[in-house]
A and B are shown apart, each in its own frame.
Chain A
């Protein structure tokens, strides 16, 4: 008896809430974000959270944003995404590669909720979109600066997981370092983590001890920059976020992921009812990838060259993967002047010629 009273009460309250929203005319659009790291990681997740805040700033009281940080990429992700969908989210951004299958599984159960998965390729149902940034354009600029700046000709690279996105970054950086410095050598360390300050610092220190004086990173914390600062005479770059607290040196520049315009556009599309499943892969030109300020630790001529390359990519007149290029095993990949197609880039699982070591498998 009592139970029934509670139930009726709850239903009445629900009805009231719905009624209020309709009377107001502006049901809030609820936007969910699932993060792989903490919002304070200073890198990848931090920038996604900046995007979330930009959505709030843009739409004020027309939106409500919710987020969950440090969600493991295993079986927990599916539960977290489901609970978000149950809580009434209209659109959910899942911001790590490992959320691909969970996102699609939940999307199949909630056809009225829109899902946006970052860096994946599966769009199994019409309510799933994927989006990613052409970070490799930023890597090309980074490689150019690294090749010019190294004195030991040894560049250390802290890689996370051997997935195409990371391999593309290594190749792009190497091609452009090699172009300006034929003696350059890359040492790649696989950390098997996106965010683990202790592990990242260890990797950076090991690379520096092996003689590297430029550290590139594809992990999300500032620990490698801290290690570079401690070692002295070593430079690095901000990853995913500007990491300006380490400028002017060791941080001489950075690749910044700028998700805000995309997030605002997609939330707007949900509000307007124009949302459609798309596959977005934007680079420097639309502003999804930005090059952070190049500091005075870099000579003026190198800085000018780097900026010129950035502008060419923005204008669409230069592609970082332009032939002639060979694969690591010496086989031909791109003929002179030929530009890599997106399909090959999206599934890239090989090194270009000159890189040493193997991609783990």
Chain B
């Protein structure tokens, strides 16, 4: 008989080992799936995990792309993780990401075609502000009327999507675009272009911001009073209140900071890799970032690694699709397995497995 015994505190050893275990388990289960699809499992797994980083033909391009793909995920997930730790559930980062992109791109396009070094910093500020204000809607509603921020922030995603459609068809539409939707391409507007800082490295300002956010969150959580309050509010809300934590201020701070980071991620994306505001500019980074946040155990360093791992499965999955003809759905199932195993092996860090009879008390 196998039974689980709760550990007094999570095991450090297992917390460090479980992610590796999960990746191995995914490789085995995924390998079985690929074999069932008639593909060579070893080749498929090598293509997903190895080729993006080391393949001669691709790596020079796809290695930097890992940073490009991971940066918005990390940036958004860092913001979300602060709230999640404090019990503030911002599910609508996708909407804040969109609003940041709209506001930031809007500021940039308002200056077109003037060239000045102040344009890009202004766009970043506008992007962060857009995300901040969009996140303040659920924040203020929760503080003032005790509405549920999960529902409000989620539903505002759909509102933001309609705003995005409206902007690409109306206000921000490219006047030289022959009636097609979508804004001017910011890549063709040097002052507003979030270009690679060093050619061929994938490093753009968004990647820099993601690394800064990781460091900032790490310091906040380990060294700062506010970080302590965040952790306390999540683990023991009553104790936090007695300890002098102002819950309203904490809610607004958590939603605000995640809104700013999501908005900035949107701006860096629209002015860099995406290039333009278009109807389907958003591809779900705001939702994937929730997974990344939990995958990284709400820990800044963990989130950094989790973001890179997610990016790897995306890019490796793309390679596997067209190199080996693996269907897109199989890649999604593979990613799902990875998440499943990562969460499932969590049991090992929180519980001790006992084999044998239950002792009679």
Contact = CB atoms under 8 A, between A and B. Distances in A.
B289 to A, nearest CB: 15
A86 interface: yes
Given A73-B280, A192-B279, A121 B274 contact: no
A231 B37 CA distance: 38
A330 interface: no
Contacts of A10: 56
Nearest to A67: B322
A75 B321 contact: no
Contact of A163 (B180, B272, B327): B180
A75 B269 contact: yes
Given A66-B323, A73-B280, A361-B170, A83 B61 contact: yes
A84 interface: yes
Nearest to A119: B180
Interface in A258-316: none
B299 interface: no
Interface residues of B, number: 43
Given A72-B280, A360-B165, A66 B322 contact: yes
Interface string B52-65: 00001110011001
B319 interface: yes
A98 B165 contact: no
Nearest to A120: B180
A101 B185 contact: yes
Contacts of A164: 178-180
Contacts of B321: 67-69
Interface in B229-243: none
Contact of B181 (A69, A86, A163): A163
B280 A75 contact: no
Given A79-B315, A101-B275, A69 B328 contact: yes
A347 interface: yes
A361 B323 contact: no
B283 A72 contact: yes
Nearest to A14: B56
A75 B283 contact: yes
Given A163-B180, A361-B169, A74 B281 contact: yes
A75 B269 CA distance: 8
A248 interface: no
A211 interface: no
B318 A80 contact: yes
A349 interface: yes
Nearest to B164: A192
B322 A84 contact: yes
Given A68-B328, A161-B279, A361-B173, A83 B318 contact: yes
A360 B181 CA distance: 11
A189 interface: no
B178 A78 contact: no
Interface string A77-103: 011101110111000000001100100
Contact of B274 (A38, A67, A70, A75): A75
Which 3 residue pairs spanning A and B have beta carbons closest together? A75-B273, A349-B179, A75-B274
